Chain A
Amino acid sequence: EDKVVQSPLSLVVHEGDTVTLNCSYEVTNFRSLLWYKQEKKAPTFLFMLTSSGIEKKSGRLSSILDKKELFSILNITATQTGDSAVYLCALKAAGNKLTFGGGTRVLVKP
């Protein structure tokens, strides 16, 4: 059974800090790993990672995948209060289904 574990469960930082979120996984037939940001409502797509060692960046957010060690990290630099959200990691295996981790709740204080 595919499994996704995220850590930490939650964290509180101040504006300007850098945060690193972790996602480890177990999978039989890996296709890709995705990161989502969830505020009040539906998750919104951030990144899709398929290859090891290639960093994806979008503004202050970046993510990288290590397929040998079976983990991914999501970095947020110079955090802002608008970054407060739950960040979800999801694994796409055969059949196009996503298996989600439990999420990391990030609170950025002014």
Chain B
Amino acid sequence: NAGVTQTPKFRILKIGQSMTLQCTQDMNHNYMYWYRQDPGMGLKLIYYSVGAGITDKGEVPNGYNVSRSTTEDFPLRLELAAPSQTSVYFCASSQGQESNYGYTFGSGTRLTVV
């Protein structure tokens, strides 16, 4: 079982460039999430999905887009990268509202926008 797999692990973008952060899980979890973590801070929710075809905004969605065409995949798109988007991005999944095990996190993508 691979769990939650994120790619790439590191990326440097120039201001205005676009990129997609990939996230795949093989646990058949319905719920998936994208968080960002700025240095010395907790995690902030960007977008989440409760199932294929359903997505919703979290706390800090501006500058990002998501899609959920399959249960397994939940890519995060940055359209016009800005220095404020320099952060570590974590994808996570969970079984559902009654899960006793919290979330399963991916290993993160460290993004720098210069």
Contacts and interface: CB of A to CB of B under 8 A. Distances in A.
A42 B105 contact: yes
A-side binding surface: helix, strand, loop or mixed? strand
A41 B105 CA distance: 9
Contact of B103 (A31, A41, A45, A102): A45
B43 A96 contact: no
B103 A98 contact: yes
Interface bin, chain A: 20 to 34
B35 to A, nearest CB: 8
Interface residues of B, number: 26
B61 interface: no
Given A41-B107, A96-B94, A103 B41 contact: yes
A96 B90 CA distance: 17
Contacts of B48: 95-97
Interface string B67-109: 0000000000000000000000010001011001111111110
Interface of B: 31, 33, 35, 40-45, 48, 50, 58-59, 90, 94, 96-97, 100-108
Given A96-B48, A101-B42, 6 more contacts: A41-B107, A45-B102, A48-B101, A88-B43, A96-B96, A102-B41
